[in-house]
Amino acid sequence: MSKLKFFSPISEEMRIVEDQLSQNIDSNIEILNEASLHLIKAGGKRLRPAFTLLSARLFTKDLNDVIPIAVALELIHMASLVHDDVIDNSDTRRGSATVRSAWGNRVSIYAGDYILARALSMAAKYQRRDIVDVLADTSMKICEGEVIQMLSCYNVTLGLKNYLRRIERKTALLISVSCQLGAMVVNASQQSVKAVKDYGYYLGMAFQVTDDILDIISDEQVLGKPTGSDIRQGVITLPALYALNHSPHGAELARLLSSPESCADQTDRIINMIVDSEGIDYAYYITRHYARKAQQQLKYLPDVAVKKNLYNMADFILARDF
Amino acid sequence: MSKLKFFSPISEEMRIVEDQLSQNIDSNIEILNEASLHLIKAGGKRLRPAFTLLSARLFTKDLNDVIPIAVALELIHMASLVHDDVIDNSDTRRGSATVRSAWGNRVSIYAGDYILARALSMAAKYQRRDIVDVLADTSMKICEGEVIQMLSCYNVTLGLKNYLRRIERKTALLISVSCQLGAMVVNASQQSVKAVKDYGYYLGMAFQVTDDILDIISDEQVLGKPTGSDIRQGVITLPALYALNHSPHGAELARLLSSPESCADQTDRIINMIVDSEGIDYAYYITRHYARKAQQQLKYLPDVAVKKNLYNMADFILARDF
């Protein structure tokens, strides 16, 4: 099932977003342009601008005013990816070389800063304090989330609450804000803004749990990065958490996941233990829970055609293998 | 001569800025707070907020509205220092351990992002597109400057124009913007905003050339970082540029400065060659030129007491040993 089906009501606008992403990278410094354009051309699902546009579309047909904020949201996402790749020492992302591996850590740090500043400059053009406030606050919380994830690595004593907080900051927040800002820019009612914001939050949670599942069970070709990369980096995700608490080999798994050496050397063995514990099934159950919660928020929103797309998006995430 | 003399008309406001710097770092994540507060407590001259307040003071006595932007400007400066320290692998700054050496590169990257986002969130509170625009644009240009500096390392073929562009982006721009925003926030006339902006630009250029001189001739205790650190990192500054073109040993110096090994191992020899070439005297001459240009801008500004402080500030920079 192609993502294009869900994006069809906004396909024209998504093309403009794509063009504007490149056009907004116009530094005088060639290497900053190259690094940034490489990142844009590496692609990605462009989920955040899509959610912004779809949310705005609930309230209006004319999305011209929404495009800059949609572009800014994708840029904020990209800026955080560049810095993550520096921190994770990642060499590939979505099957392409990372900015870090192609240009080095130094260019990557500045390219991330540059792209973030560009995004905030686009957001400033709305002359609305509420919009810049939401974005700046989100940027701060995303940083906090990265630090929580960093501090939580190889720590098998942290529970579900820590995991949920991590994925909220890492993914759900920016998807939630993407929906929220789409509605805010077109001046939807407060109640509607809250409903799309909550929809985005639950959908984002479902999306990240699925991501964490795929990191364990998908293969490198589909994933665009090596299978088990979370495990190798000591990032303990929901399937592993479940296995730690429910596998008959919980104690051994805890020993393996606590050690950077065994996480790196015995990744396949850890994966097998997680799969055997039914940690994957449990995580799918949680994903479905969040997807349903997302769909439930839609009842507070106007009954227009695009609502069906938002509804199906949640089902799509459950079935995704991308 | 103490800097306090120049800050005396704004000493009360500077105390509030100092308090607000700490208060605005209020992440839920302890390690982000610790790293950020460490940076604040390591001190610094707080030149940028001082210039913002002094500039605003040219036009009004009540500086309450100016404080948030003054704080934001110091935060932007600090965010760029944290990322620079990651990139330079610096272990000390202003005589204190860097965030990088105390908390590692990963926390430093996120702490820098966090502080930058906080600064932009403070600027957003003015609800003025022109203010956020100026800040976002400045952040982008600072990144560009860092990349230019990076690409220019160990390259002895680049001339004065490249050097001036580097120090403009690295220092002059943010000091210029600090003056500009002080005037903008209190709604000074366009002509006045331009005059303080130009004053800050020339003063910032003078300041950075002096900084580059001190890096060669001052000692570690005064500098708070090792003498010759620019040379060691391959950053070719004005005194070295002059020596390359005017020393009878220019060819040998070019060979030394082109090689990371000799920059690291033969720093003292390089310093001696630069000093012997009168590169330091030439750089002082350029500093004086910029300081005078800064002072000349003041004739376009209201004749109030604080103008004398701005005038003396330029002389002070010439005589500085901090």
| Chain A nearest CA to B132, separation (Å) | 6
| Chain A nearest CA to B6, separation (Å) | 32
**pLDDT, mean of residues A8-19:** 93
- Identify all chain B residues contacting A139, using CB atoms and an 8 Å cutoff: 113-114, 116-117, 120
Tell me chain A's radius of gyration from C-alpha atoms: 20
Contact B147 A29 (CB under 8 A): yes
- Identify all chain B residues contacting A132, using CB atoms and an 8 Å cutoff: 120-121, 123-124, 132
Per-residue model confidence (pLDDT) at position A322: 53
Considering chain B, what percentage of its residues have pLDDT values greater than 70?
A: 93
pLDDT digits (tens, 9 = 90+) for A115-134: 988 898 888 888 888 898 89
Sign of CA dihedral B71, B76, B82, B88: negative
- Identify all chain A residues contacting B116, using CB atoms and an 8 Å cutoff: 113, 116-117, 139
Residue B214, judged by CB atoms within 10 A of its CB (0-12, 13-18, 19+), counts as middle
* Any A CB within 8 A of B61 CB: no
Residue in chain B closest to A31 (alpha carbons) equals B147
Under 8 Å between Cβ of A69 and A51: no
Tracing tokens 């002094």 back to the chain, one arrives at B54
Q: How many Å apart are CA B190 and CA B208, to the nearest integer?
A: 27
Residue in chain A closest to B144 (alpha carbons) equals A29
CB proximity list for A317: less than 8 A, separation 6 or greater: A203, A206, A207, A210, A287, A291
- Give Cα separations from A59 to A152, A193, A303, B14 (angstroms): 41, 11, 10, 47
Tell me the count of A-B CB pairs closer than 8 A: 134
* Any A CB within 8 A of B110 CB: yes
Q: Which letter does DSSP use for residue A170 in this model? A: I
pLDDT digits (tens, 9 = 90+) for B219-261: 776 666 678 989 999 999 999 999 999 999 999 999 999 999 9
| Chain A nearest CA to B144, separation (Å) | 6
Task: Give me the residues paired with residue A97 across strands.
Answer: A92
At residue A4, does pLDDT exceed 80?
no
Mean pLDDT of chain A: 89
Residue span of the structural domain in which B121 resides: 4-319
Q: How many Å apart are CA B1 and CA B320, to the nearest integer?
A: 9
* Any A CB within 8 A of B148 CB: yes
Under 8 Å between Cβ of B254 and B156: yes
At residue B5, does pLDDT exceed 60?
yes
Task: Give me the residues paired with residue B92 across strands.
Answer: B97
Interface test with A, best of B120, B122, B154, B177 (most A CBs within 10 A): B120
Q: Which two tokens stand for residue B155?
A: 């390259």
At residue B3, does pLDDT exceed 60?
no
Per-residue model confidence (pLDDT) at position A40: 82
At residue A80, does pLDDT exceed 50?
yes
Total domains in chain A come to 1
- The DSSP line for A248-266 is TTHHHHHHHHH-HHHHHHS
Q: Which two tokens stand for residue A19?
A: 């063009």
**pLDDT, mean of residues B8-21:** 93
Q: How many Å apart are CA A247 and CA A255, to the nearest integer?
A: 13
* Any A CB within 8 A of B118 CB: yes
End-to-end CA distance of chain B: 11
Per-residue model confidence (pLDDT) at position B89: 64
Contact A125 B129 (CB under 8 A): yes
Torsion on CA atoms B236, B239, B243, B246, rounded to nearest 10: 130
Least CB-CB distance to A129: which of B112, B124, B139? B124
Helix B99-124, helix B67-88: angle, nearest 10 = 150
pLDDT digits (tens, 9 = 90+) for B89-112: 667 666 677 777 667 777 888 888
**Which contacts of B80-83 are long-range, i.e. CB under 8 A and separated by 24 or more positions?**
B80/B112, B80/B142, B80/B146, B81/B39, B82/B35, B82/B39, B82/B108, B82/B109, B82/B111, B82/B112, B82/B115, B83/A109, B83/A110, B83/A113, B83/B108, B83/B109, B83/B112, B83/B146
Contact B105 A127 (CB under 8 A): no
CB proximity list for A195: less than 8 A, separation 6 or greater: A297, A298, A300, A301
Q: Which two tokens stand for residue B211?
A: 């900084």
Q: How many Å apart are CA A17 and CA B61, to the nearest integer?
A: 46
Highest-scoring range by mean pLDDT, A142-146, A287-291, B34-38: A287-291
Per-residue model confidence (pLDDT) at position B10: 94
The domain spanning residue A200 has which CATH number?
Answer: 1.10.600.10
* Any A CB within 8 A of B112 CB: yes
pLDDT digits (tens, 9 = 90+) for A223-279: 666 789 899 999 999 999 999 999 999 999 999 999 999 999 999 999 999 999 999
- The closest of A118, A112, A121 to A143, measured between CA atoms, is A112
**Residues within 8 A of B (CB atoms), A 74-93 only:** 83, 86-87
Type of residue found at B124? A
**Mode of pairing for the β-strands spanning A92-93 and A96-97:** antiparallel
Q: How many Å apart are CA A44 and CA B133, to the nearest integer?
A: 28
Per-residue model confidence (pLDDT) at position A223: 66
Contact B121 A114 (CB under 8 A): no
- Identify all chain B residues contacting A116, using CB atoms and an 8 Å cutoff: 113, 116-117, 139
